Structure 1
């Protein structure tokens, strides 16, 4: 998803626990995002294989801290009551139930999200981060989505953008530190070959800032993960504001990539526990239900595994 640099830029778990352990994301000081009141974990929900794989330190703590660049709808966002919701939130709750611990989302700027693991502030990343070969030098990924990026324009497509090369010479906004910016710059020569200037890429701190730039006319388009574009086109504002450019040659979006949960490479046991938890959530049908809830069923992974980025789906 986040084809972030996040390159991602679109951008949990654990042993048999007592009934008093909570699943979900609780609000607290120090960066935890506010979430709905978590529900007690039932021992019946715990998956034995996932729980057995989890390192003892996380079982003892009863929590895994999840670095997440919030908001990034529909993966991480707030509802009308300012409670955290979204696909990653729901998936974190479901995986936490399998592992018997709390997965607590911590607000973290995307450009500092990997360092937050390296410093010990957070344990894993769940923030629409794309699984790339470059990132695999530092992280292992448990991949849970597969999607490309799309071009989001104002309703009615006033600048008649039909393909990515129609962005040549135009102001285009992307979220800072994302792969999308690099991808757009990779078209520089093709733009020159067609007699146009390169894409003028503006990198803004948040995806909400990017969408505001398009709405205000400061940018002709937003280049963003297809899942995010789909959600924005359906839900932004009180009425329809955006359209997605449909390129027949790229029906799944441009440059499809895997999106994964990032874990430091040295934390091999934690990676295996999270993979087991995802497998358990897929096996009981919860994974499909969560993706359908956010209209993201087109982006399911066909098989699970570590570090699928760079391989064919």
Structure 2
């Protein structure tokens, strides 16, 4: 979801350390208890009272929207040195709240539990770079906010000579549990031995497996793989394998804001609010701030994953 990386976001090593101390939720990290609004050089927008009226009554009454975010997953999400949630998802989430005129509560949630947690009413929406797939659409409605594929990381020098997805046949690839990459890799057409998919609890675990030689490659959303390759050990820890025919990554898919399928009123509010952020230019600025502009969408559409796969 981006081509190049600056130091706007903290590096992977710092993310790993902050993971041990990062807050598990609550509207603004070090500023917990205060309204969770954009601050510093973060992108800001103006409130639109007409959009707030679209929200379900329970959210209007409590005056806040609870967002589940898998942290860390840079550049989509991370903690800064003050335990403030940063990255595309937290920053876009704050913009949604600001446009709607409600507070935002960002809750750290393991990726493989975000849907059950929302079903249990522990949060209102999911913003975790979640791919929009037909299977997930059986439970979740997506307001799609990015479009991109996955990329492959290998060790420096590419000792296994991996040149693309088909070259992963007979190899072991580490991925984060419950991500679409595992499904896509298992579906790889191989004339001989299939791809062995090593699913691990966190994205950091999957990266560590590659670095330790337990896997031959690592796969994640292109935006994440690109970030890791560019920032870890000054770009010397990994090499990225790209799809020469698609700069946005192998098997591009939509990702978006997840809302319970039954909550049609909230889906409508999220779609119209995201469209308002696209129209006023703040959505594009958040993408650019996080170097994800190659993965933008032009309009806020719903459930495009089910239409294109």
Is the TM-score greater than 0.5?
yes
Partner of 2:251: 255
Number of aligned residue pairs: give it.
282
Q: Does the 8 A contact of 2:154 with 2:238 survive in 1?
A: yes
Normalised TM-score (structure 2):
0.84
User: Is 2:303 aligned against 1:307?
Assistant: yes
Choose which of 17, 29, 35 in structure 2 pairs with 1:35.
Answer: 29
Structure 2 Cα separation of the partners of residues 214 and 175 of structure 1: 12
Shift of 1:154: 2.2
CA distance in 2, matches of 1:212, 1:225: 17
Structure 2 Cα separation of the partners of residues 184 and 163 of structure 1: 11
Q: How much does 1:240 deviate?
A: 2.9
RMSD: 2.4
Give 1:126 shift: 0.8
Select the residue among 231, 241, 252 that pairs with 2:237: 241
Partner of 1:292: 288
275 and 295 in structure 1: CA distance in 2 versus 1, 3 angstrom threshold: same
- 1:238 Cα offset (Å): 4.6
Matched position secondary structure for 2:29: coil
Residue aligning to 1:23: none
Residues 77-96 of structure 1 show CA distances to partners (whole Å, capped at 9, x for unaligned) of 11233322110011011111
Give 1:279's aligned residue: 275
Aligned equivalents of 2:97 and 2:256: distance in 1?
16
Check the 8 A contact 2:27/2:36 in 1, yes or no.
Answer: no
**Structure-2 residue corresponding to 1:105:** 106
User: In structure 1, the residue corresponding to 2:153 is in which secondary structure?
Assistant: strand
**SS of match in other structure, 2:305:** coil
**Are the equivalent residues in 2 in contact too, given 1:50–1:274 (CA < 8 A)?**
no
- TM-superposed CA distance for 1:201, in Å, is 1.1
Give matches, 1:1-313, under 5 Å: 31-32=25-26, 35=29, 37=31, 45-187=46-188, 190-191=189-190, 193=191, 196-312=192-308
| Shift in alpha-carbon separation, 1:39–1:115, aligned structure 2, 3 A | closer
Cα deviations across residues 195-224 of structure 1 (Å, max 9, x unaligned)? x32111110011111111112221111111
Q: Aligned partners of 2:239 and 2:27: how far apart in 1?
A: 30
Query: Deviation of residue 64 (structure 1)?
Result: 1.2
Instruction: Give yes or no for contact 1:33–1:84 (8 Å, CA) kept in 2.
Output: no
Secondary structure class of the residue paired with 1:271: helix
CA-to-aligned-CA distance 1:113-155 (integer Å, 9 cap, x gap): 1111111111111111111111111111111000111111223
What displacement does 1:298 show? 0.4
| Alpha carbons 1:33, 1:105 under 8 Å: kept | yes
Which consecutive residues of structure 1, in runs of 5 or more, have no partner in the other structure? 2-26
1:35 and 1:85 in contact (8 A); partners too: no
Output the CA distance in 2 between the equivalents of 1:226 and 1:79.
Answer: 22
- 2: CA distance, partners of 1:159 / 1:223: 15
- Partner of 1:53, secondary structure, is coil
TM-score normalised over the length of structure 1:
0.83
